[in-house]
Structure 1
């Protein structure tokens, strides 16, 4: 039985993914013929930069070698460019005169580098970076020339520049935006990447528009629209791609920016399909590998006559290693209505995380330095998940649930439909609701604008956790939040438990005895209540024989080595070192992040730290109660200090007050909301109380005589200040 002939124009990654899928599904259905304009088998174009950088050879990046085509009886016509399709006669013709009939045709013609209409763009030593041949040319140029300019600060331009550095050339990246990779990163992540690349030897000219490429017949440099110049003997153009649609357009196939396809990758002409960078689906043409592979799978199943979900489009994402730096970007990172759900910067480790939301849904994410969460975040973006689904830090309470628990029971959650927290929790408990959609159906909460859906989801989680732990939400007034029981072992809340444990301060007894006297439901307690009890006893000066679990010992202090250009910028490393030495190993109710920013524009944002210290013309501004993750909160101004010693003292007093008055597992931002920021501020601005709090902290610490903390707190400067 004769097989239908399937002809593929294009030997790139998208077309070959489709062929691989067809072979896996129905290997005997088609006689497959492939035409590729490069004289080599299919290779991974993404890895070209690694070839340029000397990490791989051409053979290393070959996806399917010559033997693969032979093994699967595929005829590869390499080095042949198709210039005509006869859609009525159902045959193609190459520039060399070859003709090939087809039953089904796939256009996988890919794209070409976009060449902007800059005067001088056609001079010698001006080139793009797209193929193995381009790699070879750049390698050849490096043997003679030393100065290169790369026009384009996107991923491809940066990879090209890194390759040039490896070849021993000077590389200057010229970009028309004010920060690099502006389509995938935000300004902060881009600044971190730029710093890393500059450390590797790369240079940057940002917000520059090239007016022309100078030189007679050969490139000698760039002239910019602001009148400045750059000397360059080699110019690499990497400003984007353009879908290869000329062949389809000449053949009467409908095109727009690219070849227009439906949800099954069918073009306007029967038996002709398009896939990859040359295809336009629902007005979008994709330039990333993941969407192209998704298209290839749908097309393969379609051609094999198998049922398949239609292709509905893709969430663009990139998980890349840019010149040795891990970078992840997914979904929308800017646009109208976009808000920050999570933002976390670790200036010491060089990592950055940002999650974007819109109307309570996860819409985009950026990771820099550590991309381990990329897959999980991509799933949330693809599903348009509720912000409440964002996973909290391991071992830390869920901030969204903490906010739900702290909300007064009569507080209105859904303003559109006038639904209170009490009404939502009652519906969940009495009707056994399991999902936010069920809550919406029963109460109408989040049924209109959807803005309150994250809180609805958090209340759902909070209510179920209360039930699972044997606790209930007790009666409460509109201005009094309902307390939560510590765990299922007791009906006591944190305030009651903390007060009752004061009776055991002077006793040296075991945990089992304490639990028995407190009327605990379980003999040994559980993993939830044991650390709570120990923390409150430890804080009050009590002891437990053979204690097994201690409180959180996480006070992270971050600072920024980059000193912004300003008249008052300061080097915060000394202040950060003092705070770190003072609080290292201290048991805290919940992990604490402190940030020291040397001035405005710092990579460390003092306003979204638990404790933030920001250099100012008056000295140091001290902020408290900020939060970089969901729910994002800006810290309040606690006070202003003229010296580093005064700043460290006020920050330390705030931390000690937090230790003494917060509930276990209560984040600092939630503590400020519960006590009231102005009340905390007025308390801590009492000089005498500051002195007492620092003295208490000093007394609690078990330090050696040479401890940096002890030396700092006992120094005459500190004692004189407090």
Structure 2
């Protein structure tokens, strides 16, 4: 079969990101052709200011060079402007006369600089700042002229002005608002930034409206509406962007300000999609790289026929280095109803922090000078977290390290070079990197705009602290438990330890396992250590609790009652026994179940107390890999938030929604929907199965949220929604907790047992959960 032809109009960051994702998912699914109007391969526009400032060359900001296109069989047509799409015959046509048919078409036409209707805007030496060619023109002008004006005090205007200063020109920024970057910053942060830039040589004219650009055929200066003038031989206009929609509009594709797309990036014409700055999703078009990359990932999975969550939009945020100064802004920073939740200023360090709220929810944040907390604050803004979550914990580490730990492993840290947290931490761990500069050299993270450098530095610190403390604060480290030794007492990993314990138990007690009657026996951990060839006679405070837990899990699946002797042989040897006990060597992780039955249920007919009782009967005092919080809420807005619990059960008009993988403390995680149940019994069954599967497959000390990320949430969900397996898991813990032994999980299938419980397996579970043993 011949491949379908995928044509992309636009060789920018969003369109090529989608192609990269397609190649990663299904490399042989399409014949890919890309049309770009610039005569060069894909490059990073965010880095143009660095090129202008002389910090990077064009080659440094190339994302995918010519060889990349060739290696992946992509035909790149550069210097071609597409001017027509025939949506009936499925072909495009360029201004040079090239006609290209397509099966699937992606519009990634990006945007163009917005040119305000100012008289004289078309004079010579008046230009925008958008492409490599613009950088070249500005560099050429600097060789002959000295006075430059930049119209626009946003990010792009400030970066253009900084580049002009580097080229040896005088740069005056003209802005029509009372302070710079007024869409991202408040007055205080903007004033601090302005002071920094003025110290670098930049000049500002604020609250100025340009009436015209003066000069006969060439720019000589600006005339303002208040009658004042400014001399300028070069004028750079940087007042915003405008989505490129003319091609789509001429072709009959629905447009507003940009090309209208749905949650899967589909346009109004079948087979045609749009992504990036040219796309308008739910009334919003984005000009930041992170949302564009999110769109590209959704579109790639859609085109590869894979299930994907729909794109629901993005919270606008900027984490940038503006002319050498770290700046972060997210969410709403101005508007009706906003109030200040936190505001701190450190004049000595030159840092500023402000968090805004509305109706008790975190809605926006601004950081200046130190942006390490940016990612953590972004998470709070994105999910509309309660303001109470901003309160610092007594044992909290410094904010930068907290932010690093809270970041999901697959989250992109460096958007410019598409480097994730997992890649950075792996490089630090495997290559022994000690500084952010070393990370940049190995991974390119922070090697472009530099906005992510504080996070990279925090990740270096966090990784080494975790290693030194023997902790497991990230999924990357938790995954290492499957290959790294449990502790210095052994070469066995957690996976190897579990397997070895299972082997010892089953090999030495096969005769017991084949008996039908329930047998009671005692296991001595000290003897187990000897059989495992432990390097130390007694073990340590790291391995001994792990062994104790794995023995509990292993023996719980056997047809026998087991007690575990964990009296340490070091008793009487200088107080060693007491030291081990104080270190928590026999510590036991348990489940805490909280529910809120104080809110009127209105039209709901759900019994929160009944559901709580069913779970308590099975899980009270149960041994768990890590402490587990279960929350039961009668509706959204309950005092118990179901979405930030390890396991959350939320009442809804259709019954119960069960969420897993949430976490209310550091690192903050929002639970994902595991399933829906109509009754309290069905909800308890799914919740119980989830907890039992976690109990059987997690590493010791692995939080439930990390377990879901290591195994994959969708894989866990598919496993637990298998009706038969779900019931067997639930019956396993019920049998264990009530002392029945594993025999009950076999017996409950028999006709005689079912008959005693009204004939079906759900009734068996009903009996069990009501303690009718």
The alpha-carbon distance between structure 1 residues 101 and 319, as it changes in their structure 2 partners (threshold 3 A), is same
Q: 1:394 to 1:139 in 2, by over 3 A?
A: farther
- Structure 2 equivalent of residue 78 of structure 1: 78
Alignment of 1:22-33 (within 5 A): 22-33=22-33
Corresponding residue number in structure 2 for 1:37: 37
Match of residue 626 from structure 1: none
Q: How does 1:229-244 map to 2 (within 5 A)?
A: 229-244=229-244
**Deviation digits for residues 647-702 of structure 1 (CA, Å, limit 9, x no counterpart):** xxxxxxxxxxxxxxxxxxxxxxxxxxxxxxxxxxxxxxxxxxxxxxxxxxxxxxxx
3-state DSSP of counterpart to 1:43: coil
Aligned-partner Cα distance in 2 for 1:349–1:416: 47
TM-score by length of 1: 0.57
Secondary structure at 1:63 match in 2: coil
Relative distance call for 1:317 and 1:152 in structure 2 (3 A) is same
Identify the residue that residue 176 of structure 1 maps to in structure 2: 176
The aligned residue for residue 275 of structure 1 is 275
Structure 2 vs 1, CA of residues 354 and 33 (structure 1 numbering), >3 Å: closer, same or farther?
same
Number of the residue aligned with 1:98: 98
Distance in 2 of aligned mates of 1:45 and 1:19: 18
Any residues of structure 2 matched to 1:540-619 within 5 Å, and which? none
Helix, strand or coil: the match of 1:219? coil
TM alignment of 1:467-482, pairs within 5 A = none
Quick one: structure 1 residues 440 and 69, their matched pair in 2 at CA, closer, same or farther if it must change by over 3 Å?
A: same
Shift in Å, 1:226: 0.7
Deviation at 1:192, TM superposition (A): 0.3
1:136 matched residue in structure 2: 136
- Residue 53 of structure 1 and its aligned partner are, at CA, apart by 0.4
Aligned to 1:226: 226
Alignment of 1:675-686 (within 5 A): none
Give the Cα–Cα distance (whole angstroms) in 2 for the partners of residues 334 and 354 of structure 1.
12
- Contact 2:632–2:640 at 8 Å: present in 1 too? no
Partner of residue 613, structure 1: none
Give the alignment of 1:432-451 within 5 angstroms. 438=632
Residue 444 of structure 1, CA deviation: 6.1
Distance 1:79 1:387, change over 3 A: same
* Partner Cα separation in structure 2 for residue 323 and residue 279 of structure 1: 29
Match of 2:5 in 1: 5
- Give 2:581's aligned residue: none
Match of 1:331 in 2: 331
Q: How does 1:240-255 map to 2 (within 5 A)?
A: 240-255=240-255
Give the equivalent residue in structure 1 for 2:299: 299
Deviations 1:478-515 (A, max 9, x none): xxxxxxxxxxxxxxxxxxxxxxxxxxxxxxxxxxxxxx
- How far 1:416 moved relative to its partner? 11
CA drift of 1:92 comes to 0.4
2:348 matched residue in structure 1? 348
Asked if residue 373 in structure 1 is aligned to residue 381 in structure 2, the reply is no
For the residues of structure 2 that align with 1:124 and 1:461, how far apart are their CA atoms?
A: 58
* Distance in 1, Cα, partners of 2:42 & 2:281: 24
**How is 1:683-698 mapped onto 2 (pairs within 5 angstroms)?**
none
Write out aligned runs for 1:505-520 (5 A): none
| 1:571 aligned residue | none
> How far, CA to CA, are the matches of 2:224 and 2:198 in structure 1?
22
Residue 334 of structure 2 aligns to a residue whose secondary structure is: coil
Q: 1:648-687 counterparts in 2 under 5 A?
A: none
Distance 1:147 1:443, change over 3 A: closer
* Matched position secondary structure for 1:42: coil
Hey, what's the Cα distance between the residues in 2 that align with 1:23 and 1:85? Answer: 25
**Residue 388 of structure 1: CA displacement?**
1.2
Residues in 2 aligned to 1:51 and 1:394: alpha-carbon distance in whole angstroms:
45
Cα distance in 2 between the residues matched to 1:248 and 1:257: 12
- Corresponding residue of 2:285: 285
Change (3 A) 1:443 1:138: closer
Q: How far did residue 113 of structure 1 move?
A: 0.1
Q: CA deviation at 1:442?
A: 11
Contact 2:599–2:638 (CA under 8 A) maintained in structure 1? no
Secondary structure of 2:116's aligned partner: coil
Shift of 1:164: 0.2
Partner of 1:620: none
How many angstroms does 1:357 deviate by? 1.0
Q: Deviations over 1:211-249 (max 9, x none)?
A: 000000000000000111100000000000000000000
Matched length = 429
CA distance in structure 2 between the partners assigned to 1:322 and 1:27 by the alignment: 38
Q: Equivalents in 2 of 1:27, 1:150: separation in Å?
A: 45
SS at match of 1:213: strand
Contact 2:599–2:634 (CA<8 Å) still a contact in 1? no
Number of the residue aligned with 1:114: 114
Query: Which has the larger displacement, 374-383 or 53-62?
Result: 374-383
How far has the Cα of 1:362 moved from its partner? 1.0
- Which whole-Å CA distance do the structure 2 matches of 1:209 and 1:165 have between them? 23
Can you list the C-alpha shifts for 1:13-49, whole angstroms capped at 9, x where unaligned?
0000000000000000000000000000000000000
Please name the residue that 2:261 is paired with: 261
* CA drift at 1:380: 1.0
The equivalences for 1:532-547 within 5 A come to none
Give the deviation of 1:361 after TM superposition: 1.1
Q: Quote how far apart the aligned CAs of 1:443 are.
A: 10
Please list the CA deviations of residues 31-74 of structure 1 after superposition, one character each: whole Å capped at 9, or x if unmatched: 00000000000000000000000000000000000000000000
Mapped to 2, the partners of 1:240 and 1:93 lie a distance apart of 29
Aligned to 2:147: 147
Asked whether the equivalents of residues 253 and 269 of structure 2 are also in contact (C-alpha less than 8 Å), the reply is yes
Which residue number in structure 2 is paired with residue 208 of structure 1? Answer: 208
Q: CA RMSD in A?
A: 3.0
2:547 matched residue in structure 1: none
Aligned residue in 2 for 1:455: none
Residues 291-331 of structure 1, C-alpha deviations (whole Å, 9 max, x = no match): 00000000000000000000000011111000000001111
1:320 is aligned to 2:320: yes
Matched, 1:384 2:384: yes
Shift of 1:158: 0.1
Displacement after TM superposition at 1:82 (Å): 0.2
Aligned CA distance change for structure 1 residues 436 and 143 (closer, same or farther; 3 Å): farther
- Alpha-carbon offset, residue 438 of structure 1: 4.4
- Would the alpha carbon gap of residues 131 and 70 (structure 1) be closer, same or farther in structure 2, given more than 3 Å must change? same
Residues in 2 aligned to 1:202 and 1:289: alpha-carbon distance in whole angstroms: 27
Structure 1: give runs of 5+ residues left out of the alignment.
399-414, 418-425, 448-459, 463-722
Deviation at 1:391, TM superposition (A): 4.8
Residue 81 to residue 397, structure 1, CA distance change in 2 (3 Å): closer
Alignment match, 1:695: none
Provide the TM-score with structure 2 as the length reference: 0.53
Q: Distance in 2 between matches of 1:236 and 1:443?
A: 51
Q: How does 1:421-432 map to 2 (within 5 A)?
A: none
Distance 1:257 1:442, change over 3 A: closer
Shift in alpha-carbon separation, 1:123–1:416, aligned structure 2, 3 A: farther
